[in-house]
Chains A and B, each alone.
Chain A
Amino acid sequence: MKYIDEFRNKEASLWFAGKVKKISENRDITLMEVCGTHTMAIYRYGIKKMLPANIRLLSGPGCPVCVTPDNYIDKAIELSSKEDVIITTFGDMMHVPGTESSLDRQKANGSDIQVVYSIIDALKIAEKNINKKVIFLGVGFETTVPTIASAILQAKKMNLKNFFVISANKLIPPAMEVLVKGEKVNIDGFICPAHVSTIIGAVPYRFLSEKYHIPCVIAGFEPTDILQAIYLIVKQIAENRSEVEIQYTRAVKNEGNKKALSIIDNVFEDCDTEWRGIGEIKKSGLKIIDEFKNFDAEYLFTFEYKPVKKNLGCICGNVLQGINTPDECKLFRKVCTPESPVGPCMVSSEGTCAAYYKYT
């Protein structure tokens, strides 16, 4: 495929890996790939095996499904049991266990839940079902947020009265700061997300390199992209620099996608929000502004308060912060498998536990 296959260049990948070995001079270096799509690619292409033993890669919290807390899933489940509601969602959310049920189970029991590829499909479902309330589960990072904002603007234009979003949308840089400020993991460099950065650009990571002196490189998702980015980070470390660099130059501009950013600003505002396993992070979430509150399911529906039952033994919260690897979880592979997941890190196709299960 054009502009994909060219970045799966084995010889060039080996060249970068060799360079990393040389310039890191056996120094122990811990890098975090923040994004779940990077985690998947790192396992799929055996990137850890190509790197010298002194380079450690940790997976971070960049899987939107994994960091969505139980109470959001419980709300979605509650909405799905209403007679006049159609739930529309990306597929990964279907299998995440809530406190008492999952969307999968709700669907089997007769709830109208439809998996969509795009929020545009949810708009079409709303147009066709004017007697039903069509609710889209807005779960995503900066890559997906502008698509949701754009759909809300379009719903307004179309004068749709039965289309709603329930937002658990999140922002990546505030979570990176929490990890850096915490004492639990020591991160020497960040492999920054590819497509989040097509929207936000390089500037929002600058505080990490300037205030915390951590080298950051925005990397594409193909294997050679990732190895080149690791080389660029290790080079910064060897030269005692900390900057934000873009390896994924074919898709990321320093300033990001200005039009998408302004569409987000027109529809959403920052709010504090909860991340599974990490807790509440200030200004890391997005909620729909008042002007569009008629599209906000949180505004239109009231929810029962249910205390969240803890998943005994699941250490997803630690896995999401790079504190533990999946094989350190007692349930991994024995009780928790992709067919019968206990935690979201095993459910999501980009969860670290799922990647570990599939490729190790």
Chain B
Amino acid sequence: MCIAVPMKLLKIDGDTGSAELGGIVKEVSLSLLDEVKVGDYVLIHAGFAIQKLDEKEALDTISLLNELGGND
């Protein structure tokens, strides 16, 4: 029940916004986050953005995995 998926923020309107994943756009609440901007990836759980995805950290992990997996 604690599933959350990374979605891209397309629009911000006060405490709500719309976010997209695989072509599907959903209205989401941004009330739990400070300082988000359009284009950010946010983790969406039960209609709320619960955390901003740290893209630098994500890319660091991905490049480590690619190195270990020999995909680089």
Residues in chain A within 8 A of chain B (CB atoms): 1-4, 6-7, 9-12, 15-16, 35-37, 62-65, 90, 92, 117-121, 139-141, 143-144, 146-147, 150, 153-154, 193-196, 198-199, 221, 224, 228, 249-253, 257, 259-260, 263, 348, 350
- The answer to whether A251 touches B47 (Cβ under 8 A) is no
CB-nearest residue of chain B to A193: B2
Instruction: Output the least CB separation between B20 and chain A (Å).
Output: 10
CB-nearest residue of chain A to B56: A250
- The answer to whether A37 touches B1 (Cβ under 8 A) is yes
- The answer to whether B22 touches A1 (Cβ under 8 A) is yes
The 8 A CB mask of B10-46 against A (1 = contact, 0 = none) is 0000000000011000000101111000000101011
Instruction: Output the least CB separation between B38 and chain A (Å).
Output: 16
Given A11-B68, A144-B1, A195-B43: A3 in contact with B53 (beta carbons within 8 A): yes
Residue of A7, A63, A121, A143 with most chain B CB atoms under a 10 A cut-off: A143
Q: What is the size category of the interface that chain B forms with chain A?
A: 35 or more
For B71, what are the chain A residues with a Cβ–Cβ distance below 8 Å? Answer: 9, 11
- The answer to whether B2 touches A194 (Cβ under 8 A) is yes
List the 8 shortest-distance A-B pairs measured between CB atoms, nearest first.
A118-B47, A11-B69, A250-B58, A12-B65, A12-B69, A198-B51, A143-B2, A249-B57
For B33, what are the chain A residues with a Cβ–Cβ distance below 8 Å? Answer: 257, 259-260
For B66, what are the chain A residues with a Cβ–Cβ distance below 8 Å? Answer: 9, 12
The 8 A CB mask of B47-72 against A (1 = contact, 0 = none) is 11011011101101110111011110
Instruction: Output the least CB separation between B16 and chain A (Å).
Output: 9
Instruction: Determine the distance from Cα of A258 to Cα of B55 in the docked complex, in whole angstroms.
Output: 19
CB-nearest residue of chain B to A18: B68
- The answer to whether B47 touches A12 (Cβ under 8 A) is no
- The answer to whether B69 touches A10 (Cβ under 8 A) is yes
- The answer to whether B2 touches A7 (Cβ under 8 A) is no
- The answer to whether A144 touches B21 (Cβ under 8 A) is no
Q: Can you list 28 A-B pairs, Cβ within 8 angstroms, ordered by A? A: A1-B6, A1-B22, A2-B8, A3-B41, A6-B58, A9-B65, A11-B69, A11-B71, A12-B64, A36-B1, A62-B2, A64-B1, A117-B47, A118-B46, A118-B47, A120-B29, A120-B48, A140-B1, A143-B4, A147-B45, A147-B46, A154-B31, A196-B2, A199-B50, A249-B60, A250-B54, A257-B50, A348-B1
For B29, what are the chain A residues with a Cβ–Cβ distance below 8 Å? Answer: 118, 120, 147, 150
- The answer to whether A260 touches B32 (Cβ under 8 A) is yes
- The answer to whether B2 touches A37 (Cβ under 8 A) is yes
For A199, what are the chain B residues with a Cβ–Cβ distance below 8 Å? Answer: 50-51
Residue of A35, A251, A259 with most chain B CB atoms under a 10 A cut-off: A251
